[in-house]
Amino acid sequence: DTEVTQTPKHLVMGMTNKKSLKCEQHMGHRAMYWYKQKAKKPPELMFVYSYEKLSINESVPSRFSPECPNSSLLNLHLHALQPEDSALYLCASSQVQGGGTEAFFGQGTRLTVV
Amino acid sequence: AQRVTQPEKLLSVFKGAPVELKCNYSYSGSPELFWYVQYSRQRLQLLLRHISRESIKGFTADLNKGETSFHLKKPFAQEEDSAMYYCALRSYNTDKLIFGTGTRLQVFP
């Protein structure tokens, strides 16, 4: 299984809502990533988890809260988002550190904040 | 700091023409360089990595540390090569993977 699965595929939420994005992989990868991608723009790194610990936070606002409950799962909890947070959120996983290892990407969750 | 630059937003060629997508990087340590491709309505996927020096779908890329470049080349473009191409850099001793701004390749029949 070389897939990264993200749920839901689409999400519409109000600015006062709380929701979560989920990501799952069963490739034994110990590095997992969240990216944000706006239309016609490249993926922008948000968070990196290595061995289930948060290793990189790219100064992301606290209304985005990542969680890595185990080596296969990655969540992104959303609260009090703004309309400008509407984007495609991508999850990825890879082996850790070095060796030219490939990052596998999910299809993404398309988030609309209203 | 890590940075990846792709100067061309759009590259349009005719089928059979050579293609070169430019990528320059800035990184003080030992970088790992990749090319990722995103076909229409498909997920982002790896095309090439510098460490394996392979040719995939006729594409090659050579890491030039002197010029800090990792340009992607193909001698004869095909219509099915039309896609968005991202150059990416990962630092060797962390898991930070960042992307350039991307180049859209259009191959006309």
Chain segment A61-76, per-residue pLDDT in tens: 999 999 999 999 999 9
* Mean pLDDT of all residues in B46-71: 89
How far apart CA B7 and CA B13 sit, in angstroms, is: 17
Q: What is the mean pLDDT of chain B?
A: 92
Instruction: Determine how many CB atoms are found less than 10 A away from the CB of residue B67.
Output: 10
Give A91 or B54, the one with higher predicted confidence.
Answer: A91
Counted across chains A and B, CB pairs separated by less than 8 A come out at: 60
B43 and A107 within 8 Å at the Cβ level: the answer is: yes
Specify the pLDDT at position A98. 59
Specify the pLDDT at position B31. 84
Flag whether residue B97 sits within 8 Å of chain A, measured between CB atoms. yes
pLDDT, tens digit, 9 for 90 and up, residues B18-41: 999 999 999 887 788 999 999 988
- Low pLDDT (below 70) residues in chain A: 1, 98-100
Which of B99, B106, B6, B82 shows the shortest CA–CA distance to A90?
A: B99
How far apart CA B102 and CA B107 sit, in angstroms, is: 16
A33 and B46 within 8 Å at the Cβ level: the answer is: no
- CB-nearest to A56 from B34, B93, B96 is B96
Q: Pick the residue from chain A with its C-alpha nearest to B98.
A: A45
Specify the pLDDT at position B93. 73
Beta strands in B6-102 (DSSP E): 10-14, 19-21, 24-26, 31-38, 45-49, 60-61, 72-74, 83-91, 97-99
